[in-house]
Amino acid sequence: MKVLCIGAHPDDVELGMGGTVAKHSMRGDEVHIMVCTLGIGGESGDPKAREKEAAATAQILGGRLHIIDYPVVRLNKPSIEFERIIRNVISEMAPLRVYTHSPFDYHQVHETVCECVTNSATDVPQLLYYEVASSTSPEFRPNAYADITDHLDMKIKCLALHCTQSSKLYMQADITRSLAHTRYVLSKMGTRPNGMAEAFAVNKMLINTTQKIQPKVRYGRD
């Protein structure tokens, strides 16, 4: 399965679905991580440092990193130009599944990315939204979950590598662990007492049951 995970900022994919990326990768799926902006023009840390952080975590998670590096100040609202870029990426890559930010996210850049990805993913069979603890609103109503009990430590390790963001509350390990456990319990998807999950909302999911995946372990540096 070819999977494309799109995040506005360098840490968004790890924050929203780092465990799921690791799980996809471990299953042998071809995972692509796309970062829309490094924050040039913004105030969220040195772009070069953020690029290195994203590259390090992508390698750990086993995903191939693509950086668009669109100026963050131009992502305050959707634009035809940005949507065209996303459309071209999706068209060339032809992923079976795309993950991106939820429309119920009050961060203007996340919202822009969500809208442009959703508009561009008309030919993608599966589109799911993830949450980020920093700005996803309570209207986010998940109905898909990935059990990341065995991958949570890796997610936390990846978040810790985003040193430029380490002072932020939502980047703390306890917050990540707490949300993951809550999501697992509320999902009712399993009965593991220490279960951890990441939550998603399905925009659309066309399931082809004949899809064959050759399981293999394809991890990057751990």
Partner 1 sequence: MKIAALGLTALEIDLACITPLKKLNQEGHEVHIIVASDRDSIDWTAEEAKSFFEKFNLSNIVIMDKRDYSVVTQENANALNAHIKKINPDLAFMPSWKSLNARRKILARTALIACRGIGSIMMYELDKNPAFNPTVSFAISASEPAAKLSSTESGSSSLSLTVQTGQPNTDTISESFECHRVSLVSDNWL
β-partners of residue 66 are 34
* Number of C-beta neighbours around residue 119 at 10 A: 13
The pair of three-digit structure tokens given for residue 48, joined into one six-digit string: 């070069």
Q: How far is the CB of 111 from partner 1 (least distance, A)?
A: 20
Distance CA 145, CA 164 (A): 29
Provide the CA 216 distance to its chain's centre, in angstroms: 22
| Contact positions vs partner 1 (CB under 8 A) | 20, 23-24, 27, 29, 94, 96, 122-125, 128, 143-147, 187-191, 200, 202-213
Least separation in angstroms between CB 152 and partner 1: 14
3-state secondary structure of 213: coil
Cβ closest to partner 1, residue 151 vs residue 162:
151
- Nearest distance from residue 144's CB to partner 1, in Å? 5
Residue 101 CB-density burial (10 A; 0-12 exposed, 13-18 middle, 19+ buried): buried
Coil, strand or helix at 146 = strand
Q: In angstroms, give the least distance from the CB of 143 to partner 1.
A: 5
Question: For partner 1, which is the closer residue by CB, 60 or 124?
Answer: 124
Least gap, CB of 32 to partner 1 (angstroms): 15
- The residue among 40 and 94 lying less far from partner 1, judged by its C-beta, is 94
Cβ atoms 2, 32 nearer than 8 A: yes
